[in-house]
Structure 1
Amino acid sequence: MRRKGEISPDAIRRDFPYSVWLPEQLATDMLRGARFYASAASRATVEHVDGQRWVAVWFGEEHDAQAFHRHAGGSMGRPSPDRACDVVRR
């Protein structure tokens, strides 16, 4: 469900091709910093991968996603069980 005027999760995935994925417990502190990047989506999405909740922060420009990844850690692109995620705060 979404409110009137709010961008849908599908529209975010379509219009913002680059993402940084953070485990939910780390994301609460880091989400405030994402708003300072010009191409960041107005909201993040929450996804379930192998029983764990991940917060995906979406960007329209790759360089903004990489800069946020350097700041926040997490994983570029969708996390998978065979790829370890660096969750160390930097």
Structure 2
Amino acid sequence: MNVESWITVEETPALAAEAAAAIDARLARLTPAQRDAFWSSIRKAYNTPYNDPVKPAKPQPVEPAPGTAPAAVEIHIPTLDLPAAALASASLAAEIRAA
């Protein structure tokens, strides 16, 4: 995009220095930390792109090669012989917690 300007390239450094001096004169009432914060915000504003940055592409899941898929896993849970009283106690405790 072309921008029309009456300022030549040669004039830019001198005009920028004059502008910075005028701004610094107005900022003289601030503390050094406040002046640094001001110039930091100006640098951030001028160095921030106008458009949102392009988001990186999400990696696509890869299908495993044929024959390399892991075998099915078997889980064996041992059975416990519990007395009927223990089973009743467990279910009663669950009912009490639910209430």
TM-score band, normalised by shorter chain: under 0.3
Rg larger for: 2
Higher relative contact order (CA 8 A, sep 6+): 1
